[in-house]
Each structure stands twice: as structure tokens, then as C-alpha cells.
């Protein structure tokens, strides 16, 4: 940036001042600057310096905000997948360059089983990170008082009203009991897949739009060794260079595979948004889950961020 700034400044000085050759001796040339050009040159230099400083400050601010948002989001995304008796759980979170709005939580249920939450906040950066912070805090507090997915979503909706800044949040809450009963409530999110088949659920509106919104609960049965897969729209909406979407059919065809396999397939196809994948497998009686899995959280570097679709630098004015 500094080199380009210096070159531009020198070029404009030469252009504006009207430099004229006065003598020539061998290969050396001597120049005289028109006196009337100096005030204009000084004004131009001041303008360029001011713009350069503003651009540098804006770039620094963008970098700091991105770092702060990443730190907030990393605190809210589970560092490790908890071991819950009777279940095997996998997770992958892959943001798309900028800090995004995907989030998930995995909480032990009071009566045994597990409570899962997955969602997607519209927007990017610190605004999205703070909305995620609000939602995750609400979920963790509510989990001490109720295990009802519908009640949890209704309370999260109330907390988000007036705080969405014109955006919205899709979210799904799932309670899986040890006996295979799975209760789900959905706020406009992609439906879960059970053994590669999309489950038919009643849907409520996304969070943060309307106060008087209810979230009906649906119940399905998960047999032993059957897998439930939850994804965000970064999987379905992965886009190839040709413009073709990964789509629901490809997602369904891969939904019985591991979280890592699904995530990599969408990323390799053409990641265009945050990708989050959760898988929940009900284990056969007496079978133990593998060792605790570290949650896969893949934060791109700034250089990688710039190379991904959707990355845009801050306008320097």
C-alpha cells in the first residue's frame, strides 16, 4: 500500500506542476517546476496523506473487529464434544472467511439423552457474533428449567425481538432421549436427516421476526445405530464455479456419512457460506462411544479469507 501511495503521489506532482526541461547535458536532464503549481501540489499531498491514513485505520479496524469476533465465537462454539451415554456425536464448523453466524450447542439432558441446537444468524462479523452470544446464553439458561424444544425456541424468539437489526435467525432444537424418542422444534431451519432421509416436520418462523410465534414439536423414533444429521445452509448452498448448487439431493445422499465427510464434500464443491454439520448416532445397548472428540473448528487465516467467495475489504471511503 505504501509503495503504491508513493508512486501515485510522485506521478501527480509531476503531472500537476507542469515540469519542463530547461537544459540537457549528456544523459542528465534538469527540470524546472512551474511556481504556480506548488499550492496545488501541497493541497493534493495533504488530501492523499489524509486518504492513506484513513485507509490504514479502516484496515486496522477491520482486522481488529474480525479478531474480536473470532474470539467471541470461539468461546461460544464447544471446544470438545461431550460424552453422553448411549450416543456418539460428531461436529464440524467451517466458517467462510469472515466470522459468520452459524452456531451449535450440545448439552446433556436432565433425564438422560442429549439436547442439540443448531442455527444460523443472518449477517457477519461482530454483529453476528454478539447475536450468537445472546442466543447461546439464553439456551444455556433455559436448559436448566425446561427441556422442551418448542419452549426453548419461543423464549429465544422473545429475546431476539428488536435486536435483529432487520435480520433473522434460523434455529432447530432437538431432544434425543435414551429410549430413541426424538422431539424436534424448528424455526425455519433445514430439517434433520434420519439415516439419509429428510424428516418431515412442522415449521415455525425464524427467530426475531414476530412476537406471537409458536413452535410446534414433532416426534420421531431413532433406532439403534441410526444417525441423525443436522446441517446449516452452507452445505446445501455450496456453489460450484459453474453456479451449480450442492443442493438437497446431494446433501440427502451423503447425510448418513460422517460430519467430516459431509463438510469436506460441500467445501470442495465450492464453499460460499459457513458450514456446520452435527451427527448424532444412537448406540446399541452396552456399546460405548469412542474417546471424546474435539470439535472440529476450522478458522481460515486472513490470507485464506481473502481467497474465499464473499470476502470483501472494508470501504476506505
Q: What is the pLDDT along the chain (317 residues), one digit of tens a residue?
A: 555 555 655 555 555 555 444 444 445 554 454 554 556 666 666 777 777 667 666 666 555 555 554 555 555 566 678 888 899 999 999 887 666 688 999 999 988 899 999 999 887 767 777 888 888 889 989 988 999 999 999 999 999 888 766 788 999 999 999 999 999 999 999 999 999 999 988 899 999 999 889 999 999 999 999 999 999 999 999 999 999 999 999 999 999 999 999 999 999 999 988 899 999 999 987 676 665 555 555 544 333 433 433 333 333 33
Cell of 195: 439415516
Residue 115 pairs in a beta bridge with 107, 175
The pLDDT, as a whole number, for residue 127 is: 75
The pLDDT, as a whole number, for residue 296 is: 57
138 to 124, 125, 146: CA distances (angstroms): 20, 20, 12
Planar angle of CA 279, 285, 287, nearest 5 degrees: 65
Q: Which CATH class is domain 78-307?
A: alpha beta
Which DSSP letter does residue 207 get? B
Q: What are phi and psi of 17, to 5 degrees?
A: -70, -20
CB 256 within 8 A of CB 196: yes
Provide the pairing of β-strand 114-121 with 102-108. antiparallel
Cell of 299: 478458522
Indicate the pTM of the whole model: 0.71
Cell of 213: 410465534
Distance CA 73, CA 301 (A): 15
The pLDDT, as a whole number, for residue 278 is: 96
In the numeric block, the cell 456419512 is attached to: 257
The pLDDT, as a whole number, for residue 83 is: 86
In the chain, the DSSP E strands lie at 20-25, 28-32, 87-94, 102-108, 114-121, 169-176, 181-187, 193-194, 197-198, 217-221, 227-231, 275-282, 296-297
The pLDDT, as a whole number, for residue 285 is: 76
Among candidates 56, 31, 41, which has minimal Cα distance to 9?
Answer: 41
Residues with Cβ within 8 Å of residue 90, at least 6 apart in sequence: 81, 258, 259, 260, 277, 278, 279, 293
Which DSSP letter does residue 192 get? P
Residue 188 pairs in a beta bridge with 171
Specify whether the backbone of 247 is left (phi greater than 0), alpha (psi in -120 to 50) or beta: left
The pLDDT, as a whole number, for residue 108 is: 92
Amino acid at each position: 500500500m505504501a509503495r503504491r501511495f508513493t508512486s501515485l503521489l510522485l506521478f501527480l506532482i509531476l503531472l500537476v506542476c507542469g515540469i519542463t526541461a530547461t537544459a540537457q547535458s549528456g544523459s542528465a536532464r534538469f527540470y524546472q517546476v512551474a511556481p504556480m503549481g506548488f499550492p496545488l501540489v501541497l493541497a493534493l499531498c495533504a488530501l492523499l496523506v489524509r486518504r492513506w491514513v484513513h485507509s490504514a485505520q479502516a484496515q486496522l479496524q477491520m482486522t481488529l473487529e474480525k479478531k474480536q469476533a473470532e474470539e467471541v465465537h470461539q468461546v461460544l462454539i464447544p471446544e470438545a464434544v461431550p460424552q453422553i451415554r448411549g450416543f456418539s456425536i460428531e461436529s464440524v464448523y467451517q466458517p467462510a472467511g469472515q466470522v459468520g453466524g452459524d452456531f451449535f450447542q450440545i448439552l446433556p439432558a436432565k433425564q438422560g439423552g442429549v439436547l442439540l441446537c443448531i442455527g444460523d444468524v443472518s449477517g457477519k462479523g461482530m454483529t453476528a457474533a454478539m447475536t450468537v452470544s445472546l442466543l447461546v446464553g439464553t439456551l444455556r439458561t433455559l436448559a436448566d428449567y425446561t427441556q422442551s424444544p418448542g419452549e426453548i425456541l419461543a423464549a429465544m424468539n422473545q429475546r431476539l425481538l428488536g435486536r435483529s437489526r432487520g435480520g433473522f435467525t434460523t434455529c432447530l432444537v432437538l431432544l434425543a432421549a435414551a429410549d430413541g424418542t426424538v422431539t424436534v422444534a424448528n424455526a425455519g431451519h433445514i430439517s434433520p436427516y434420519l439415516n439419509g432421509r429428510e424428516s418431515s416436520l412442522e415449521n415455525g418462523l425464524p427467530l426475531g421476526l414476530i412476537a406471537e410465534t409458536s413452535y410446534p414439536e414433532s416426534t420421531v423414533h431413532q433406532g439403534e445405530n441410526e444417525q441423525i444429521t443436522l446441517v446449516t445452509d452452507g452445505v446445501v448452498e455450496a456453489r460450484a464455479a459453474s453456479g451449480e448448487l450442492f443442493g438437497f439431493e446431494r446433501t440427502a445422499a451423503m447425510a448418513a456419512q460422517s460430519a467430516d465427510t459431509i463438510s469436506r464434500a460441500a467445501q470442495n464443491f465450492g464453499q460460499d457460506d459457513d458450514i456446520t454439520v452435527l451427527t448424532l448416532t444412537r448406540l446399541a445397548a452396552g456399546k460405548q462411544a469412542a474417546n471424546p472428540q474435539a470439535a472440529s473448528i476450522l478458522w481460515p487465516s486472513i490470507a485464506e479469507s481473502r481467497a474465499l467467495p464473499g470476502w470483501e475489504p472494508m470501504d476506505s471511503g
